[in-house]
């Protein structure tokens, strides 16, 4: 009888330990899934957020309960706020990921028109590290992107920035620093008009993402 009771106790303790082990593994699995989901989402949404930061646009935010609010992009880093939101989701402080959408203002179409113009007319040339001349290339050619076609609206701009280069990075990241032949090195930057007239923008330099939305004509 004592042996039977002892066996019951052992079985019970073993069952509890097994259950605890399963629960721990399950929690770790869920936490890992939660982290992977958050990091994947961050990788995708960061393109939108960085673009809003660059252009000084506001973001409309919403949660899974239908609440909506606006994050002002003029005096703060939107990317820092979104990064913290996602970190809070990973840690469990927040139960859901938020959605983010750029709020267009009166400058958006001007920025898009400037971007179209610069992608078609800016050329970068120079010499590589071995002293070999690199002929003038468009930004798309230098960065390993597809041939550029005009963008008409914000949706088209976001779609373009989410495309992937030959090197496997989002277009937006490739355009964050535009240098010689797809590198961060300085090059001669010119603006070539439709009539062939050439204007030197920088004898030796690089372009930032915001530079691509400026009017260089």
- Spell out the per-residue pLDDT of the chain, length 217, in tens: 434 333 433 333 343 334 334 333 343 445 778 888 888 888 889 999 999 999 999 999 998 888 999 998 777 789 888 888 888 888 888 888 899 999 999 999 999 999 999 999 999 988 877 777 888 899 999 888 999 999 999 999 999 999 999 888 899 999 998 987 777 788 899 999 988 889 999 988 899 999 999 998 7
* 132 and 96 within one domain: no
* 205 and 119 within one domain: yes
Q: Give the pLDDT of residue 10.
A: 37
147 phi and psi angles, rounded to 5 deg: -55, 130
* 172 and 79 within one domain: no
56: left (phi over 0), alpha (psi -120 to 50) or beta: left
Q: Give the pLDDT of residue 108.
A: 96
- Enter the tokens of residue 210: 């915001």
* 182 and 137 within one domain: yes
* 209 and 117 within one domain: yes
Q: 10 forms bridges with which residues in the sheet?
A: none
Q: What is the CA radius of gyration of the chain?
A: 26
* 71 and 131 within one domain: no
* 29 and 66 within one domain: yes
> Domain residues for 43?
2-103
* 154 and 81 within one domain: no
Torsion of CA 26, 27, 29, 35, to 10 degrees: 160
Number of H helices and number of E strands within the chain?
6, 9
* 82 and 170 within one domain: no
* 112 and 95 within one domain: no
The domain boundary residue, chosen from 58, 82, 103: 103
Q: Give the pLDDT of residue 42.
A: 86
110 phi and psi angles, rounded to 5 deg: -60, -45
CB atoms within 10 A of CB 61: 18
Coil, helix or strand at residue 169: coil
The domain boundary residue, chosen from 53, 86, 103: 103
Q: Where are the alpha helices (DSSP H) in the chain?
A: 2-55, 78-91, 108-121, 139-142, 154-161, 171-174
Do the beta carbons of residue 174 and residue 167 sit within 8 Å?
yes
Burial 6-41 (b: 16+ CB within 10 A, else e): eeeeeeeeeeeeeeeeeeeeeeeeeeeeeeeebeeb
Distances (CA, A) of 17 to 22, 27, 92, 195: 9, 15, 25, 79
- Total domains in the chain come to 2
Q: Give the pLDDT of residue 56.
A: 92
* 119 and 200 within one domain: yes
* 204 and 113 within one domain: yes
The domain boundary residue, chosen from 69, 103, 137: 103
């Amino acid at each position: 009888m004592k042996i039977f009771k002892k066996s019951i106790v052992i079985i019970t303790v073993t069952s509890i330990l097994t259950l605890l082990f399963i629960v721990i593994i399950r929690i770790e699995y869920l936490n890992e899934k939660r982290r992977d989901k958050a990091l994947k989402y961050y990788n995708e949404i960061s393109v939108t957020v960085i673009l809003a930061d660059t252009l000084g646009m506001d973001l409309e935010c919403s949660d899974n309960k239908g609440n909506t609010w606006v994050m002002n992009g003029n005096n703060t880093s939107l990317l820092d706020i979104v990064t913290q939101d996602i970190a809070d989701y990973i840690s469990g402080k927040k139960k859901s990921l938020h959605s983010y959408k750029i709020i267009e203002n009166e400058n958006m179409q001007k920025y898009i028109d400037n971007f179209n113009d610069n992608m078609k007319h800016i050329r970068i040339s120079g010499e590589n590290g071995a002293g070999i001349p690199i002929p003038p290339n468009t930004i798309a050619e230098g960065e390993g992107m597809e041939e550029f076609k005009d963008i008409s609206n914000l949706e088209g701009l976001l779609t373009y920035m989410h495309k992937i280069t030959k090197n496997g990075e989002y277009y937006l990241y490739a355009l964050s620093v535009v240098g010689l032949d797809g590198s961060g090195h300085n090059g001669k930057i010119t603006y070539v008009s439709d009539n062939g007239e050439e204007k030197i923008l920088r004898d030796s330099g690089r372009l930032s993402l915001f530079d691509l939305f400026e009017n260089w004509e």
